[in-house]
Structure 1
Amino acid sequence: MGEGLAEAAIVRWLVPEGGVLVRMEPMVEIETAKSTVEIPSPVDGVLVSHGAPEGDTVEVGTVLAVLETADARAVEVGGDRVARPSRDGAGRVPAAPTVRRRAAQHGADLSEVPATGPGGRVLAADLEAFLAGRGTSSRPAAAPVAIPATAAVEPSPPGAGHADRVEPLSRMRRGIASALHRAWSEVPLITDLRDADAEGLVRARRSLQEERGGARVSYTALFAAAALSALRAHPRFNASLDLDAGMVRHHSAVGLGIAVAVPDGLTVAVVHDAASLTLAALAEAIDDVAGRARAGRLTAAETTGATFTVSNYGQFGGRYGTPLVVPPQVAIAGFGPIADAVVAVDGVPAVRKTVALSISADHRLIDGAELSVFCSQIERLIADPIRLLAG
C-alpha cells in the first residue's frame, strides 16, 4: 500500500463474508498513514472470510482476506509466505537504511532476524523484537545525559490551572512523524532561498483564467510547470539515491509529488508522468488529486512513486521555508506567497509582485553550485512564463 507503511486499519468491508466478488471491484476500505483507499478484488469469486473485523488494525504481511475464485481455488490476499529473509541482487537481506544502521550499532546480523516484511524485508519492529529477545548488545549503550537543573520544569501545584489533555497520535500523524524523522536524520540538507519576479506570472494567470471563461488556474500548477521545465534541463534533480547500494537511479518520467494540507496533517499526492502533460492537463490533474487528498480518497498509486515534490505553502502565510527532502527523492521545491516588494528596475525602485523560492536538495548527491543553477532556472521561468504556456 505504499513504501514505509507498516499497518492499516479496516474502515469497512464492502463485501460480506460469503458475498460475491467481481474482479477489480472494491471489496474493502482501509485507512493507512497516508490516506483512505479501497482495495479491489483481484479475482471473480466469493469472499470466504475477512482477515479482521472493521476497526481493527492489521500489519503488513498478515492475511487481509481469503477469497475463492470461480474455479473454487482458495487464494490468500495480503499474506506474506516468505519464511526466511530473501536476499537482493547484492546478496543482502532487504531492509531500510535506518534498520541497517541500528543493526550495525548493536552488532546484529540481519540474516538472523526473523523477517515479517514483504519479500522477506526486515522491518524495524522485527529488529527491535530480535534485540529485545537477545537481551544484550555487543556495543555499550549511550551514556546518560545530565539535564541541568535550570532546564527542569517544575510541576504545577494541584488545582493550579486545568489538567493536561493527552491523546494518542493518529495513524497519519505517526506516519508523518516517522517519514520526517527519517528525512531529518538521513539527509544533509542544503536550501537555496531567493525572491523571484512574479509580475509576469500574475498577468499570465489572469489571462489564462479569462481565456478559460473564468475557470480557476492555480498558482500551484504554474509553479509545478516551472519545476518540470527545469527538471528537463537538469534531470539530476529527478533521481533516487540508494547510498547503501552505492547507486543513483535517474528516472525517465517525473512522478510529481504535490504537498497537500489535510485535516490531520500533510500528505503528498502524486501525478505520474507529469512531464508529458500540457499545462491545462497538469492543472486539472493537480486539482483532482489535491481535492481527493483532502477528502481522504486517494488511491494507493496516487500516494507512492514521487520522484520530485512541489510544496506551495505560501497560501498559508509566512515567507521562506526549509522544505525537507524525503528520501529516496533528492530535491523539493517550496513556494512562498506572492506579495508586493520594492525592487530595483533599471536602477529605479519599483513595487512589483514577487514570490519566495525555497528549494532544498540532498547534499550527498547535489552540490551547492548545481542547486543554485537549478533554482536560477526556475526563477527565470517564473519571471518569463511565456515558455510555460506553450503546452
Structure 2
Amino acid sequence: MAEIREARVPDIGGYSDVPVIELLVAVGDTVAKDQGLATLESDKATMEVPAPFAGVIRELKIKVGDTVSEGAVVALIEVAGEGVGAPAKTEPAAPAPMPGHKSGAKPEPEPEPKPEPRSEPKAEAAAGPAQARPAAAGEARTPPVAFGAESILPGEVPYASPAVRVFARELGVDLSQVRGSGRGGRIGKEDVQAYVKSVMSGAARPAAAAGGGGLDLLPWPKVDFARFGEIETRPLSRIKKISGANLARNWAMIPHVTQHDEADITEMEAFRKRLGEENKDTKITPLVFLIKAAVAALRKFPQFNASLDESGENLVLKKYFHIGIAVDTPDGLVVPVIRDCDRKGLLELSTELGEISKKAREKKLGPAEMSGGCFSISSLGGIGGTAFTPIVNAPEVAILGVSRSSMKPVWNGKEFVPRLMLPLSLSYDHRVIDGADAARFTSYLAQVLGDLRRLLL
C-alpha cells in the first residue's frame, strides 16, 4: 500500500536559513533514493538535498528563493513499496525549522523586534567563513570595534542575531553603522557583507576613519564603459560574491609575505609515473605527494599548523592534519578539505582527492566538507605560470601555491644536468610566522619532495 512520507533537509553542518536556488524535480516525477531534490547555496558552497527514499513526488514544500534549515520539509514522496523501492527506516523527528523560514511548513509568526539586553547573549556558531566564539568580558578583540555611549543603550543596540554579531566582529564591522534590510530593521549577514563591499569600494566610510583608523580609501572610480565601445554586464555567481568579500578581508587584515623556492621533483615524477602504471584505476597526481610533504613540514614546524584566536593574543596549535585543496569550478573557487592526511597513503589520498574534486564541480559539497582546514594548497601547475602570491585562507596562517614544473639545468658540482624543478610559493601571516621560519619551511618541503624517503623519518 502506498505511503506518503516527508523528505527533509539533512544535516547541513549547523547552517540555517540557507537559500534554495534550484528545484531539481517537479510534482509527479519518480525519483530514486539519493537523487537530488533541490539545490541549496550557503556562503561557501552549493549542495543538493537528496531523496531519502525512492518514490513519486506528490507535493513540493519549497520554492526557489525560500530559505531552509536542517529538518525543514522539502517534499512529500509517495513510497509504493516493492514497486518503487524498499521503504527506508523510519527517520527520527528532525528539529523544527527556524521561525520565519520559508520551507513550506507553517512558520510561527515572527515576534516584533524588541531591544536586546545590555549584554550580548552567547553566540551560536558563526555561519561565516571562519568559526569563532564571542570575546569574553575584558578580552581583547581583533580588530577592536569602538562603541560609544549611544551604541550600548538598550534602545540603540543594533537588531541582529548572535551569529551575525560574531560575523560582524570577525570583519571588524561596527553594527551601528549597518542598515538592516530585514523585518523591523533586522541586520543579516548579507547586510554586513554589503557594508564591507561599500567600504572597500569607497561608497561608505567606516566610522573609525574619522579618528585615523580603518580603511579611508578613495571612492571607486565610476566609469561609463559603454562610451568606449560595446559592453556586456554579467552578474557574479553567489560563490564569487562571498569569496570576494572574504578575500578582500583576508588581504586587508593579514600582513602577507610570500616566500618562493623550487623543488627538484625529478625522482618523484618518475616514481609517480611508475605508480600510475601499476594502479591504472587510480589517477595519481603530483598533488597527493604535495599533501604528504606538507604534512611532514607541518609536523616539523607546528606554528604553521595553527590559528590565532579571536583575541589575537594566543596561538592555537592543532594536533590534526586537515589539508584544504583549492578547486576551480565554473561558479568560482572552492576549497574542500581532506581530513587526517597524516593517516592516509598516496593511493587513498588519490582516490579521495578525485572524489572530492568531482563533488566540488558538481555542486555537491556540503559545509562540513569545506571546514576544519589547517593548511591550504593551491595548484596552478596544470595551467601554467612560474610563481604567484596566494592569499591566506583565514583563520589559517599559511597557504602553499604551486606553479608549473619545468626542466632546468642544475649544477651538481661537476656539470649542469637537466632536472625537473617545481616552483613553490608560500604565503604566510607575518604576525605568526617570521621570514626565517618561512624559508626553513619551504626549504624542508623542497627536500622532502626531492627525496621521498624523508617521509619515512
Instruction: State how far apart, in whole Å, the 1-side matches of 2:306 and 2:164 are.
Output: 24
Partner of 2:349: 282
Kindly indicate whether structure 1 or structure 2 has the higher relative contact order, using CA contacts under 8 Å at least 6 residues apart: 1
For the residue of structure 2 that corresponds to 1:208, the secondary structure is: helix
1:58-77 deviations in Å (ceiling 9; x for gaps): 3x989955999x89989522
Instruction: State how far apart, in whole Å, the 2-side matches of 1:5 and 1:110 are.
Output: 29
Name the amino acid aligned to 2:48. E
- Greater shift after overlay, 30-39 or 187-196? 30-39
Q: Aligned match of 1:37 in 29, 39, 47? A: 47
Q: 1:87 to 1:386 in 2, by over 3 A?
A: same
Instruction: State how far apart, in whole Å, the 1-side matches of 2:397 and 2:160 are.
Output: 29
Partner of 2:426: 359
Matches within 5 A, 1:228-243: 228-243=295-310
Name the amino acid aligned to 1:176. S
For the residue of structure 2 that corresponds to 1:366, the secondary structure is: coil
Partner of 1:161: 229
For the residue of structure 1 that corresponds to 2:444, the secondary structure is: helix
Matches within 5 A, 1:83-162: 84=116, 85-87=120-122, 92=136, 101=144, 108-109=151-152, 112-118=157-163, 121=166, 123=168, 127=176, 128-129=178-179, 141=210, 161-162=229-230
TM-score, normalised via structure 1 length: 0.76
Amino-acid identity (%):
25
TM-score, normalised via structure 2 length: 0.66
Gaps of 5+ in 2: 1-11, 28-32, 77-89, 101-109, 124-132, 187-204
Partner of 2:335: 268
Q: Aligned match of 2:446 in 364, 379, 383? A: 379
Q: Aligned match of 1:9 in 20, 33, 46? A: 20
1:269-319 deviations in Å (ceiling 9; x for gaps): 111222211121112111111121112111221111111111111111111
Q: Which has the higher strand share?
A: 1
Gaps of 5+ in 1: 17-21
Instruction: State how far apart, in whole Å, the 2-side matches of 1:107 and 1:350 are.
Output: 71
Instruction: State how far apart, in whole Å, the 2-side matches of 1:4 and 1:90 are.
Output: 18
Instruction: State how far apart, in whole Å, the 1-side matches of 2:50 and 2:153 are.
Output: 34
Instruction: State how far apart, in whole Å, the 2-side matches of 1:66 and 1:8 are.
Output: 13
Q: 1:301 to 1:269 in 2, by over 3 A?
A: same
The CA deviation at 1:12 is 2.4
Matches within 5 A, 1:265-344: 265-344=332-411
For the residue of structure 2 that corresponds to 1:315, the secondary structure is: coil
Instruction: State how far apart, in whole Å, the 1-side matches of 2:409 and 2:376 are.
Output: 30
1:71-106 deviations in Å (ceiling 9; x for gaps): 99895224599985413687649xxx78x6565599
Instruction: State how far apart, in whole Å, the 1-side matches of 2:149 and 2:69 are.
Output: 26
Partner of 2:249: 182
